[in-house]
Amino acid sequence: MCNSGSLREIPLAHMPSTVEILSLQKNIFPIIKSDAFLGLKALKKLSLDRNNISTIKPFAFRGLPRLRELSIQHTPLATVASFAFAGLQNVSQITLSHNKILRIEAYAFAGSAGILLLNLADNPTVVVEKNAFSNLGSVDRLTLPAGIRNISQDAFNALDTVGHLKLSFMDLTEVSAFTFRGLTNVKLLSLQESDLGVISANAFDGLEHVDTLSILNNKIDAIQELNITYANHIKSLRLQGNHLLETPEPGSIVLEGLSQLHVVGNYFPCGCHIHTLLESPLSNGSYPSGEDFLTKNYCISPLEYNGWKMSKVDIFAIGRCHEQVTRENLEASGAASRQHYWTILLGRRRPENDAASSSGNCCNSSSSGGSSWCGWYWWSRINYSTAALLHLFYALALLAYFKYFRLKIS
């Protein structure tokens, strides 16, 4: 034990190889070099709190086969560098709280598969890089710091078997595509008390075998896609206490394979898009949650409905949004136009000429008015075909306009 505050480097040469508990606190050494404790094969507990540590080199703790607990707290450490904590095969607990950690780099804990508790709380972490927790397995609890602003794609890739993964007090612009890809066998994944920004398409793709996915008490600007399929193997989804600023687009929410769905205490827009919400899997009774969607959730907008239970709003008095009605009409019109086009293109005959048609000659001169009918038939067929094509083109163009450039009206 040396808590004198005078050490400028780790005095490995003066440590007995039989030491089991080592505390080096309140010293001024800034760097933990690679293999800094090599040879201390009996060491079980190591505390490096309140030192001036700013850098941890790759494989800094290699060669400690019996180490079980490692604590580095209250230091100016700003980055958990790649492979800094690699190769800790028997460590069960790492505490990295109350530091200045801004970034967790890829493969920072590679090869440390025995970690049960990893605590990164109370750090000003901004970025979690791709593969930051790769090859961790059987982690009972992973606690990340508040204030995270960017979680990279595949940040949790190859993180297998987690009891509780809590992501709270984040300040994200979006939950990006494939954020949770490669994260498997999780008892509880909780996104809570955060500004999630936009939940992007494919955000939960590649997340597999989760007992409970909880999205609690967040601000959500929009949901581009919430796609939970049988491939995810998610048993329970809980949406509670969230404030959603925009209603998801029709078809943007898919919920498959859930045994439980709880949508309670959320605030949704109650404007003309409310019909889209009520037709989505969040509220249409696809799952026997035993809860009444309208009585358990609230309105966030328009202003006159703010804070109301949705059940108090006269849903039937709220008309569908103009662009939604227009889109539905255009879709119906487009379908009708396509049917009309193919009908003309395939050559529907005049009833009185069915016999001639069946003989394979619609311009049979022996039929009454055969010559004039033949000319009229082909001329009208060309005109109607052109008109149908123009009508179809116009309808599809308007449909594309409203789909990609329409104003959001909640």
If one counts the domains in the chain, the total is 2
Within-domain flag for 338: no
Within-domain flag for 89: yes
Which residues lie below 8 Å from residue 287, measured CB to CB, with a gap of 6+? 255, 258, 260, 261, 281
Within-domain flag for 201: yes
Within-domain flag for 153: no
Kindly state whether residues 141 and 3 are assigned to the same domain: yes
- Whether 353 has a pLDDT exceeding 90, the answer reads no
- Domain end point (choices 321, 350, 385): 321
Q: Tell me the β-bridge partners of 164.
A: 141, 188
Q: What percent of the chain has pLDDT over 70?
A: 75
Kindly state whether residues 116 and 199 are assigned to the same domain: no
Kindly state whether residues 3 and 139 are assigned to the same domain: yes
Kindly state whether residues 63 and 190 are assigned to the same domain: no
pLDDT of residue 399: 64
Q: What percent of the chain has pLDDT over 90?
A: 61
Lowest-confidence region among 36-50, 297-311, 312-326, 331-345: 331-345
Report the b/e string of 46-66 with b at 16+ CB within 10 A.
Answer: bbbbbbbbbebebbbbbebee
Question: Which tokens in the block code for residue 275?
Answer: 């019909």
pLDDT of residue 7: 84
Give the type of residue at 369. G
List Cβ<8 Å contacts ≥24 apart for 359-363. none
pLDDT of residue 356: 41
d(CA 129, CA 85): 15
For residue 271, the Cα-to-chain-centroid distance in whole angstroms is: 26
Q: 14 or 47: which carries more pLDDT confidence?
A: 47
Which residues lie below 8 Å from residue 270, measured CB to CB, with a gap of 6+? 299, 300, 301, 302, 305, 308, 310, 313, 318
CATH number for the domain spanning 305: value is: 3.80.10.10
H-only helix segments in 300-364: 322-345, 354-358
Q: What mean pLDDT is reported for the chain?
A: 83
Kindly state whether residues 125 and 251 are assigned to the same domain: no
Within-domain flag for 382: no
Q: What is the mean pLDDT of residues 369-387?
A: 48
Lowest-confidence region among 91-95, 159-163, 301-305, 353-357: 353-357
- Whether 284 has a pLDDT exceeding 80, the answer reads no
- Whether 374 has a pLDDT exceeding 60, the answer reads no
Instruction: Please tell me whether the overall predicted TM-score, pTM, comes out greater than 0.85 for this model.
Output: no
d(CA 300, CA 167): 25
User: What is the domain extent for residue 206?
Assistant: 186-321
Q: What is the mean pLDDT of residues 81-89?
A: 93
Whether residue 265 contacts residue 297, with contact meaning beta carbons closer than 8 Å, is answered with yes
d(CA 147, CA 153): 18
What are the DSSP E strand ranges found in 179-257?
Answer: 184-192, 195-199, 208-216, 219-223, 226-228, 234-240, 243-244, 253-255
- Domain end point (choices 145, 177, 198): 145
pLDDT of residue 368: 44
pLDDT of residue 317: 86
Q: Tens digit of pLDDT for each residue in 336-352?
A: 555 655 555 555 444 44
pLDDT of residue 128: 94
**What are the backbone dihedrals phi and psi of residue 298, each rounded to the nearest 5 degrees, phi first?**
-130, 170
In the numeric block, the tokens 């109370």 are attached to 122
Kindly state whether residues 139 and 3 are assigned to the same domain: yes
Kindly state whether residues 234 and 301 are assigned to the same domain: yes
Question: Which tokens in the block code for residue 260?
Answer: 């439980």
First to last CA, the chain: 63
Q: Tens digit of pLDDT for each residue in 7-28?
A: 888 888 888 999 999 999 999 9
Q: 228 or 372: which carries more pLDDT confidence?
A: 228
Kindly state whether residues 200 and 258 are assigned to the same domain: yes
H-only helix segments in 281-321: 293-296
Q: 346 or 94: which carries more pLDDT confidence?
A: 94
DSSP type of residue 270? -
